[in-house]
Amino acid sequence: MSTICATDDAICSAELEAIRVSRVTIDNSPSLVRRAFAWLIAREKKRLSRIALAELTEDQLADIGVTVAEARREAARPYWD
């Protein structure tokens, strides 16, 4: 992008800097779709890990230091929680 500043170079320079900063801010901010997709992926990972937790045996739960009651309570929680 080129701009011709005939009157005041300081004002023109400040305007160009403001445009550059706003463009960087827009480019670095995640889009709503990207954030929504990341939220869905995180919830699916949580859901799958709770299913895997529910399928562990008592011996496996004891190995990781979790009681059967704790595992059942965690597995019963909704995916959004």
Instruction: Place 35 in a pLDDT band, splitting at 50, 70 and 90.
Output: confident
Contact 12, 44 (CB under 8 A): no
Cβ atoms of 54 and 71 closer than 8 Å? yes
Q: What is the pLDDT of residue 65?
A: 94
CA–CA separation, 16 and 2 (whole Å):
9
With a cut of 50, say whether residue 13 has pLDDT above it.
yes
pLDDT of amino acid 36: 86
Mean pLDDT score, 44-63 = 93
The CA–CA distances, whole Å, from 36 to 26, 30, 33, 79 equal 17, 10, 5, 15
Q: What is the pTM of this model?
A: 0.57
